[in-house]
Structures are given as C-alpha cells and as structure tokens.
Amino acid sequence: MCLECRQKVEYIEEPRCKKCGKPIRYEEQEYCYDCTQHIFHYEQGMSIWLHKGPVRWSVYQFKYHNRRIFAEFYAKEWWRIYGNQLKKWGIDVIIPVPLHQKRRRKRGYNQSEILANELGKQCNIPVDSQSVIRIVNTRPQKELNNKERKTNLNNAFEVTQHWRRAKKVLLIDDIYTTGNTIDSIARLLKQKGAEKVYFLTISIGQGF
Ligand SMILES: [Zn+2]
C-alpha cells in the first residue's frame, strides 16, 4: 500500500533475474534479456518494486521534493524483505551512489545517501559516503538513449583517499534502469580491491 495515495503496490514476485532482480517470465530463463547481453561487474542486486504507478510517484517525491520521511519506510522494507540476503552476502560497508557536488548543492541532499544512512541504522552496517565521488556532472541518465547513457558515465566516478579496502560492498541507489551507474562504480571499486559488489534500489525499470 502506498503511504500517501493508498493505492495497492505490488512487490516484485519470483521468478526474478539472478543478476539484476528484474522479474522474468520463466524460472528456466535465469537471467533477463539485459543480463544475457551485458557482462556486469557487480555480483547481484535487488529492488523492492517495479518503477511504475504509485512507486514511481513516491520515488519522484522523495528525490525531487525532499520527502525524506519516505527513506525510513524504504529502508525498513529493504531490511524486512532482504535482511537475510544481506546477511548471506556478508556486507562490510554500504556506499550510496554519489551526486556531483554541484547537483548535490542545488538539491541540498543526496537521496541515495539518505537511503544508505537509513539502511545502515536498520542493519548496523557502516555507511561510507566519502569514498566514491562523482567527478563529472553528467546529464541525467533519463534524458539519454542507451548508447549515450554508457558513454555519459565513462570516468564519471572516482574513488577517493578515504577508501579503505572493503571486501563486500553494497551500493545504494533509488532506481535501477540499465544498470550502467551501479556497474560503473562496481568496476571501479573492484579495481581498488573490493571483492564483491552488490546493490539495492527502491525500484527497477520493467524487464525486457
Ligand atoms: Zn537481469
């Protein structure tokens, strides 16, 4: 149930892609079309809902209208649904997908950081918002086509001196669409010694 509009919201059901967690039609498929076409650097990830209807509205309110109160709800849902999965993954540190400094200043906050902090409180895992920064103020991914999205993120992120090698990292973002953002950071962290990189997002774009 959506907190504000009271519309019923459906959780993502099985079967799901073993990599990105998108719903797939048949169990035997194992992976969604997208994950059979790309080699991703991250290990695995999950989202709570599909990015549509009231969820889409709710994430938008949270992201652009500073409805920070939603973050606690999202984090509790993550913990309720994926708590066991997080324990299995053995996460050492939670890292939010960073915003460029300029955009963060303009918006006044980074929604992924708020989410990461809320989740950190739920599961008692340290949150590190300083080790990964966005050095290029990229155009919003939603304004670009698939090809542009990929090149848009080339060298957009950097690992700072704050980074202390953690074996298992959980990346936090609001929405998973093509996976390019999460994967750019996963690739970078692995170059810097991370062994496994997972992700959680609130919502995920519809499967192909
Ligand atoms: Zn997939």
The CA-CA-CA angle for residues 37, 43, 48, to 5°, reads: 90
Give 135 Cα–ligand 1 centroid separation in angstroms. 28
Mean pLDDT, rounded, for 107-116: 95
Q: Work out whether strand 196-204 and strand 157-159 pair parallel, antiparallel, or are unpaired.
A: unpaired
For residue 5, pLDDT over 70 is answered with no
In a domain, 159, yes or no: yes
For residue 110, pLDDT over 60 is answered with yes
**Among candidates 197, 183, 199, 171, which has minimal Cα distance to 47?**
199
Give 21 Cα–ligand 1 centroid separation in angstroms. 6
Amino acid found at 56: R
Share of the chain above pLDDT 90, in %: 72
Give 146 Cα–ligand 1 centroid separation in angstroms. 16
Say which CATH number the domain at 186 has: 3.40.50
In a domain, 78, yes or no: yes
In a domain, 7, yes or no: no
Give 165 Cα–ligand 1 centroid separation in angstroms. 27
In a domain, 22, yes or no: no
Give the separation between CA 22 and CA 36, rounded to whole angstroms: 13
Give 34 Cα–ligand 1 centroid separation in angstroms. 6
H or E stretch covering 151: helix 146-152
* pLDDT confidence bin for 139, thresholds 50/70/90: confident
For the chain, how many structural domains are there in total?
Answer: 1
Long-range contacts made by residues 75-81, C-beta under 8 angstroms, separation at least 24? 75/115, 75/118, 75/119, 75/121, 75/122, 76/122, 77/48, 78/48, 78/119, 78/122, 78/200, 79/119, 79/122, 79/123, 81/11, 81/46, 81/48
Give 24 Cα–ligand 1 centroid separation in angstroms. 8
Long-range contacts made by residues 148-155, C-beta under 8 angstroms, separation at least 24? 149/178, 149/180, 150/178, 150/180, 153/180, 153/181, 153/184, 154/184
In a domain, 17, yes or no: no
pLDDT of 146 = 76
In a domain, 14, yes or no: no
pTM over 0.85: yes
* Block residue for tokens 């990015």: 51
For residue 144, pLDDT over 90 is answered with no
For residue 61, pLDDT over 70 is answered with yes
Mean pLDDT, rounded, for 200-206: 93
For residue 208, pLDDT over 50 is answered with no
In a domain, 106, yes or no: yes
In a domain, 155, yes or no: yes
Question: What domain range includes position 116?
Answer: 27-204
Least confident of 112-121, 144-153, 173-182: 144-153
